[in-house]
A and B are shown apart, each in its own frame.
Chain A
């Protein structure tokens, strides 16, 4: 039917986007699904990670090879192409440093932004973050050292020193999925812990949580640090995959796309966030892979994509209000203790009840 369809190539490309978006969806789920903080500015932290990776890598490569040109000039881009894959150690070092700094810087920005807003009131948080995302994008559009509207390109892929681009991409998808695995592991662990219990309590009733001695502002700021840091890591992974970044990659629609993934997959469930990300990135990838073959000109793929996403969400929520993978009760060792107690009292015979 579609003779040019390269299944493995498709899977690699889908897997990369799935990994990046699933990290974003998990981070949003921690904030919104578990703690009840409506973050409408997710894209900002994604963008911070991506731009951090982009600027750190291009400026470092140019500095190391003593190239005087700026990275956004033609000479700069040519130099980046020439020196990009020259040193495996440099490429991998830049990649590792970007991941660490991406997490820390995006996380700190999230933390610092929320501290004042948490005091004003919960409704302001979402709006503040939305506004911050747009401000950041407009700043990037105009800030020449970061390439302004053209952005930065020539970001050295961490495996650029491997000559075969197919192998390079296959290795990269494994790295991305590895990060997804770590993120999911961490999110699941903290969800199913006393900390996760505090998050759900804050989501249910902040005031009551405060009365139970929980430092609610600190809990929220912690979650925003982690969530923003995760989004920063996703941004770093995106920048190295795309090898270029520009401000139009970080429009508010990206945030709503991530929301769609969480809603579709199931609010309050980390695995659901991954499922939602998998489905929506699948639709995206399929559309980009098949549009060249279909030759549609009247409707853009972007248009079809949002229609499909909308219909999916409506259908799923009609039949499964909790999403595809609804929220599950918290699992901690407490239940093991309860089970053994219940067994004991059954073995204790008819004397159960009052002791």
Chain B
């Protein structure tokens, strides 16, 4: 790292920051693109179909259809970029970015590997170094902003169906955020801090000390709320072909639509990373005290991708909820459950455990 930095006439800190930026945002972005393919292939397999397997590089190299996201991207680039006549043009343009940026930003604080020392300097595997004072409150706050992407997209396109979808989605997101936050607060409480590194260190390397074992109820609540947060099935109220045409993105086409779709997948990645960090020990490798840096990154990646796969898996398993069922579940089940979880752990802590 030092040598590289001196080659580029920068300090190691800056070089590391740039490298991290490229790795994290590039990585999440390409994973999200890849996940569109995983979703399509996975759903196909689940339904005994085959899925997109024919896209080939240069018409020849067919790697089980992995070129599909690329082909989709190229297609989206060359589509006509329509803006509805009565749409609010500025917001219509802004909405995809409003959706995408929070989805990506949430990742900034999550450590994706163990910090290491090199040349007398400590390097952290997270965009924002630990002890920045925001900790895991930051992805929660940013996650709350994700609702603007959906709502602005819906409202600016000046379409009744879109606005219906956007309003449903934002109502769902807002009401599930409470249950989710309470579940996370329980973790902060038991970990004694809200910095991700503290949360991870508090969980340790033994799988039975991870939060998923210690707070299974909290995990279920958080997990469920994540589905509502990322607007995915069974809680995908922003969209709904059968009732509101396509939902909040009815009027979107070409690259703007693809950005909205990518935002959903980036959100999914961030949510999976959050889940791995909060409940599955982040970069901790099971039964290994001080894992090698690469091993810890690998461990984190495996956990994150597993949860990303679970998102896909659940989507193709469960039927959708009705709107009133969703609200019922959110307010009357999830919220009390996470409160019970909070009170239970507070009581346990008061007993000195």
A and B together in one complex: no
A-side residues, CB < 8 A to B, are none
B-side residues, CB < 8 A to A, are none
